[in-house]
Structure 1
Amino acid sequence: MNDHSVFNPTGVEVEQAETMPHSIEAEQQLLGAILTNNDVYDRVAAIVGGQHFFDPVHTRIFEIATARIAKNNLASPVTLKAFMEDDEGLKELGGPAYLVRLAGAAVSSFAVRDYAQMIYDLAVRRDLIRLGRDISAKASKVDVKSEPKEQIVEAEQALYKLAEQGQTEGGFQSFLRAVTDAVNVANAAYQRDGGLAGISTGLADLDKKLGGLHPSDLLILAGRPSMGKTSLATNIAFNIAKAYKRGTKPDGTEGALDGGVVGFFSLEMSAEQLAARILAEASEISSHKIRQGDMEEHEFRRFVEAAKALEACPLYIDDTPALPISQVAARARRLKRTHGLDLVIVDYLQLLRGMSDNRVQEIGEISMGLKAIAKELAIPVIALSQLSRQVESREDKRPQLSDLRESGSIEQDADVVMFVFREEYYVEREKPSDDRLDEMAGWQERMSRLHGKAEVIIGKQRHGPIGTVELSFESQFTRFGNLIKPWQQGEDSGY
C-alpha cells in the first residue's frame, strides 16, 4: 500500500481508513513539479483539481499553490510555508520540511500530464466506488419515499455528472485545426456534387434553403396549433430514419452515410399516436380511418405492410411527459452510446422542465440546454415551439420572430428559426354563408389556390438566407411533400 513513508522523517504511519485506489507517489511527483516550476500548473489545470487528490494535505498544498499562481505570485516551498505553518496534517508529515522534500524529489516536469491523468483517473475510481456503495445502501434500505425507479434515475444522473466532469478536451484549439474542420465539411458537401453539408430532410426545397440539417445546430420549428408542426417534425424524422445507411465515412470513422438514427422526445403525444401518424403517411391511409378502424381489406393489408417496412427504421420515441432538460441530455447520451444518434427532435419545448421558478428563465435554461446537447453530441436538434396568440389578432397571420412565446432566449440560442404556416387553415374558417354568391365564388377561388399548400418561413438562419419554402400538405395523411411548380409538371420532383 502507498503511504508517505518516503517523506516521513518522524516515522509516523499515516493510517488509511480504507484501501481506496490512490497513488501518493503520483501526487507527490505532481506537487513537487509544480513547486519547482510554476509553469507546469498550466499543463495540468484542465485535468486535475484539488478535489482529485487522495491525501487532504496534498489537496491543501495544491489549492494554496493554485491560488498564488492565479495571482501571478510564486508558489514554492518557502512561500507556501507561511500559509501552512499551523497545518496539523502537515505537522504529522514533518512540517514545512515536507514541502522542501516534495520539491527536491520531483524527478521531471516532462511526465506531469501523465501524473495528473493518473490522479484524476484514481479519483474517478474512488467516486465510482462511493457511488456504488451509495446505490447499494439505498437499495437495501426499504423506504416508502424512495421508489426503485427514482433510485435508478438518481444513480444515472450521478453517473452522467461524473462522466461530464472529465471533459478535458475543451479549451482553445489552433486556427489551423478549426480551418481543417471547416474544409472537411465543405469537402463532404462537394463530394455530394454540390449537395448538402448536413443530413437531408427528404424535402428538396427545404434542403436547398438550409443545406440540410447541420451537426451542432439548434433548429426551432414554431407555429400556432393546427399548423402542422408535429406533422412536419414526424415527416422529417421518418424521412431521415428511412434513408439510414451505415458504413465507413470518408474520414475513416463508422457512422451514417445517408439518413440517420433519430431520437424523438414526444412530450405531447403518446408513442402509439406518433407511430399511427407515421404509418398514415407511409401507407397513404387517412389517420382518421386508422383511428376508427374503418379500413377496407386491401387498405389494412397495405397498412400492415407499411408497418413491417418501418420495423427496421432507427426511429426511437420517448413519450415521458414533463421531462427535465437534464434527463433529455442524459437519455440522448445513452441512445448515442447504445444505438448511435444523428438527430434529436423535441415536441415541444414549452413542455420540458427546467430548474428555475421563473418561467422566462426556465425557458432560457431549456433552450440553452438543447443547444448544449447539439454541441456536445455533434448532432442537429430540432425543437418545436408554440407561438403567442398575438398572431391571431393580426390581419396578416404569417408568424414572425417576435411571436416566439415566453422568451427571447429561444430566438437567441437557435441557429435556425422556422415557422409552419398554412393560410388554407385560416381561409377555411372565413367561409361566407351560402346565400352570398359573390363572396362564395371569391372564397372558393382562394381555397382552390391555397388547397394542399403550406409554407415554411425561415425567420432566422445563421449560415444561410432567410425566406419562404413552399411545400405540399396532404391533411388526411398528415404529410408534407415537395411542391411541384407549374414549370416542373411532368418532371420527377425527386425524393
Structure 2
Amino acid sequence: MAERKAGGKDDRARGIDPAQAARLLQSVPPVDREAENALLGCLLLEPTCLAEVHEFVRKAEDFSDPRNARLFAAISAISDTEPSWQVQELASKLDAEGQLESIGGTDRIASLIEAMPSAARAGQFAKLVGSAAHIRDLISTATEIIHDAYHAGQDAEGVIARAEQLMYEVSRSRDTMKSSTLQALLEAVMEDIERREGGTSRGIKTGFYEFDDMTQGMQPGEMLILAARPSMGKTALALNIAEQVALRGTRTLVFSLEMSREQLVERMLAAKSGVYADKLRKGALAKEDWNQLMRASNELSEAPLHIDDTPGLTMPQARSRARRLASRESGLGCIVIDYLQLMSMGTRVESRQIEISEISRGIKAMARELKVPVLALSQLNRAAEQREGHRPRMSDLRESGAIEQDADVVMMLHREEYYHQSTPDWLDHNPEKRGLAELILAKQRNGPTGTVRLTWDNRLTRFKNHTGQTGPGGVYEAKPIGESQPPLGNFSPGRATGPVENHRDGGGPDDLPI
C-alpha cells in the first residue's frame, strides 16, 4: 500500500489513524512568544490601548509564557482602577504582591519597553497572540473529544452531540465584540416598523388569526411556552401550528418526546382530511374517506416538516440536530418541542429543578442562536385542578420558575368543558362552552396579554378559529385555521376576551388568576 503523505488529500478524506493521533497529542502546542513580548511592550508604553487588545486577548491564560500571563493579569487589574497608570506604579504593585521577581523583575519590564518603538501595532500583536491561544483552545477541546470517544461505550450519538457543542463553544469563544451603533440599529428598527405598516411582519403566522393579531406572529429568536394539564390538547394545538407553518413554506422541526412520528402523522391526516381519528384507528373507512385521506396526504407531503421522535432526547442533542438541519437544508424557520419536562441535559445535576432551568436556558439560547421561534410545550402542576374554575395561572408551571423567566411568551390552554364531562345537563346550561377552548396569553414580553378563543374538535383532534357565532344545537361555528384570516396588524383589544395588559417587562404578578 502506498504511504500516505501527512496533511495530504487522502488524510483529509480518511482521517488520521489512532497512532498518528497519539503522536500528535504529544506535540508542543503552538505559541508566539515574540508576539506576546511585543504586545506587553505596547501595553507598557501605552496603557490605554488595552481596550483594543481586549478585542483579541481576553484573559491572562491566552499567554503561553507564565511570566507574560502574570504581567498581563497585573496590567488588567491596575487598569480597572487607574486607566492611565505609570510603569513605576505597576512595578510597585507587583513588588507589594510578591509578583515582581516572578515576571522577570524591573530589568525585564525595561527590556520589553525598549524593544518596542511605539504602541501603534498593539492590535496586530494582540491578534497574533489571540489566534495562537484560540488554536491551543481548539487542541484542548479536540483532546477532550478524543477522551470522550475512547470512553463512550455505545453512546456514539451522545459523544457526537457533545463534540458539536464543544466545537461550537470554542468557535464562538473568540468572537469579537458585536455592538452596533444606535444609528444602525435605528435604521433596522425603522425598516421593520415600515414593513409592519405595509402589512408585512417578521413574525411567523400560526393560522389562528386572533393569536397572530395579538403577537404579530411567532417572532424569530423567541421562546414560546404552551402549557396545559394533560388532555387539554396541547400536542394537538402545537401540531396544528406546526402543520400550518410548514404548509406556508417555513421549514419546521418537531421534537416529539411523548408520541411516535407515526402517531403524529396519523393525527395530522385526520385533522387535515376531516376523517375522524377513531375511524382511522378502527380502519373502518368508506371510499370517500380514502379520497379525503389521499388529498390530505398529497397536500401534507409538500410541507417542509421534519419530525424527530427520539425517546429520551437531551437538550444538547436537540440543539445539535437543529443546527445540522439548519445548515443542511435551505434554512430552518420554526422548532416545536413536545414536551419540555421529558427532556434531560444528559449529565448529572443536583436536582430536577436545576436541570429544568438548564433545559429552559438551552431552549432560549437555541432560539437566539438559530434566529427561529421555538414553541416548547410544558406540563402544569395539579394546583389548577384543586382551584375553583380550574383556570391555570403562571405559577402552575411545573418544576421551575426559570421557564417563566426565560420565555418571551407564556400561553396556557384551558377547556372548561373537559372538567364537566360527567356532570349531567352541564352543557345544556352552558351551551356557549361546547367545544370552547381558551388560549390564555399570561405573558408576552413585547405585547399585550389576554385570552384567545378557539374551537376544539375532539374527533378530528384539531383546533379551529372561533367565530363567536352559534350554529344548530348551540354549537359554535368554527373556521379552519388559515381560512379568511384578516391581515396582521388589525388587532384591537376588544377582539380578545379578558383584560388586555401590556407587560413589556415580562408580565404581571405570578399568582394573579388569569
TM-score range relative to shorter protein: 0.7 to 0.9
Deviation at 1:269, TM superposition (A): 1.8
Equivalent position amino acid for 1:239 in 2: Q
- Match 2:191 to one of 180, 184, 192: 184
Residue in structure 2 matched with residue 14 of structure 1 by the alignment: none
What's the CA shift for 1:404? 2.1
Question: How many angstroms does 1:31 deviate by?
Answer: 2.1
2:261 pairs with 271, 284, 307, which one?
Answer: 271
Structure 2 runs not aligned, ≥5 long = 1-25, 471-475, 487-514
Aligned counterpart, 2:369: 376
For residue 389 of structure 1, report the CA deviation from its aligned partner.
1.2
Task: Look up the match of 1:165.
Answer: 173
Match of 1:367 in 2: 360
Which of 423, 426, 442 is the aligned partner of 1:459? 442
- What do the CA deviations read for 1:5-39 (whole angstroms, capped 9, x no partner)? xxxxxxxxxxxx84644433433332222221111
1:296 to 286, 300, 305: 286
- What is the Cα deviation at residue 105 of structure 1? 3.3
Q: Number of aligned residue pairs: give it.
A: 444
Out of 219, 227, 231, which is 1:222 matched to?
227
Whether the 8 Å CA contact 1:458–1:466 is kept in 2: the answer is yes
Cα distance in structure 2, aligned partners of 1:54 and 1:418: 51
Q: Which residue of 2 aligns with 1:329?
A: 319
For residues 53 and 308 of structure 1, do their structure 2 counterparts lie closer, same or farther at Cα, with a shift above 3 Å needed? farther
Q: Decide whether the 8 Å contact of 1:77 with 1:99 is kept in 2.
A: no
CA distance in 2, matches of 1:382, 1:38: 48
CA distance in 2 between counterparts of 1:380 and 1:265 reads: 14
Residue range with higher mean Cα deviation, 300-309 or 367-376: 300-309
Distance 1:196 1:302 in 2: 34
Aligned residues: CA RMSD: 3.2
Cα separation, 2, equivalents of 1:117 and 1:465? 47
Cα distance in 1, alignment partners of residues 304 and 125 from structure 2: 43
Query: Which range moves more in the overlay, 484-493 or 334-343?
Result: 484-493
Q: 2:245 aligned to 240, 244, 253, which one? A: 240
Residues 18, 489 of structure 1: CA spacing in aligned structure 2 closer, same or farther, 3 A cutoff?
Answer: closer
Shift of 1:134: 5.3
Alignment match, 2:338: 347
Question: 1:66, 1:375 → 2: CA distance?
Answer: 32
Partner residue in 2 for 1:36: 45
CA apart distance, 1:227: 0.7
| One-letter amino acid of the structure 1 residue matched with residue 44 of structure 2 | L
- Comparing 27-36 with 77-86, which one deviates more in the overlay? 77-86
Q: Letter of the aligned partner of 2:74 in structure 1?
A: I
The 5 A counterparts of 1:306-321 are 306-321=296-311
The answer to whether the 8 A contact 2:75-2:90 is kept is no
Distance 1:261 1:397, change over 3 A: same
| Counterpart contact for 1:268–1:347, Cα < 8 Å | yes
Structure 1 residue 306 displacement after superposition: 3.2
Question: One-letter code of the match for 1:278?
Answer: M
Of 101-110 and 411-420, deviating more is 101-110
Q: Which amino acid is 1:331 matched to?
A: R
Whether 1:482 aligns to 2:460 is: no
Match of 1:53 among 53, 63, 70: 63
Q: 2:452 maps to which residue? A: 469
The answer on whether the counterparts of 1:453 and 1:472 sit within 8 Å (CA) in structure 2 is yes
Helix, strand or coil: the match of 1:482?
strand
Q: Contact 2:466/2:477 (CA < 8 Å) preserved in 1?
A: no
Structure 1: gaps (5+ residues):
1-16, 245-259, 433-439
Quote how far apart the aligned CAs of 1:407 are: 2.9
Residues 65 and 75 of structure 1 are in contact (CA less than 8 Å); yes or no, is this contact kept in structure 2? no
Distance 1:330 1:69, change over 3 A: farther
Aligned to 1:444: 428
TM-score (norm 1): 0.79
Shift of 1:144: 7.8
Separation in structure 1 between the aligned mates of residue 128 and residue 321 of structure 2, nearest angstrom: 29
AA partner of residue 294 (structure 1): A
Q: Cα gap change, 1:476/1:465 in structure 2, threshold over 3 Å: closer, same or farther?
A: same
Using the TM superposition, give the Cα deviation of residue 221 of structure 1 relative to its aligned residue in structure 2, in angstroms: 1.0
Q: CA deviation at 1:202?
A: 1.4
Please tell me whether the aligned partners of residues 162 and 316 of structure 2 are also in contact (alpha carbons under 8 angstroms).
no
Q: Distance in 2 between matches of 1:280 and 1:111?
A: 68
The answer to whether the aligner puts 1:494 opposite 2:482 as a matched pair is no
Q: Does 1:280 align with 2:270?
A: yes
Conserved 8 A contact 1:267-1:322: yes
Q: How does 1:120-135 map to 2 (within 5 A)?
A: 120-132=130-142, 135=145
Matched AA of 1:276: E
Select between 351-360 and 153-162 the one with higher mean Cα deviation.
351-360
Deviation per CA, 1:279-325: give whole Å up to 9, x if none: 32223323333344433344345434533433342323332334443
- Is the 1:77–1:96 contact (alpha carbons within 8 Å) kept by the matching residues of 2? no
Q: 2:465·2:478 contact (CA, 8 Å) conserved in 1?
A: no
Deviation >6 Å, runs of 4+: 487-492
Letter in 1 for 2:321: R
Q: Are residues 188 and 299 of structure 1, via their aligned partners in 2, closer, same or farther at CA, if it must alter by over 3 Å?
A: same
Distance in 2, matches of 1:458 and 1:221, equals 9
- Distance in 1 (alpha carbons) for counterparts of 2:45 and 2:117: 10
Partner of 1:175: 182
What is the CA distance between 1:108 and its match in structure 2?
Answer: 5.1
Matched residue type, 1:45: H
* 1:194-233 equivalences in 2 (<5 Å): 196-233=201-238
Tell me if structure 1 keeps the 8 A contact 2:466–2:478.
no
Q: Which amino acid aligns with 1:128?
A: L
User: Equivalents in 2 of 1:490, 1:19: separation in Å?
Assistant: 70
Residue 122 (structure 1) shift: 3.1
Q: Give the distance between the partners of 1:227 and 1:399, measured in 2 at CA.
A: 12
Tell whether 2:95 aligns with 1:102.
no
Cα pair distance change 1:120/1:336, threshold 3 Å: farther
Q: Matches of 2:462 and 2:120 in 1, distance apart?
A: 62
* 1:394 aligned residue (387, 390, 401): 387
Aligned counterparts of 2:206 and 2:152: Cα–Cα separation in 1: 48
Which is worse superposed, 479-488 or 457-466? 479-488
Shift of 1:212: 0.9
Tell me by how many angstroms 1:418 deviates.
0.9
Distance 1:154 1:75, change over 3 A: farther
- SS across alignment from 2:232: coil
Conservation of the 8 A alpha-carbon contact between 1:160 and 1:330: no
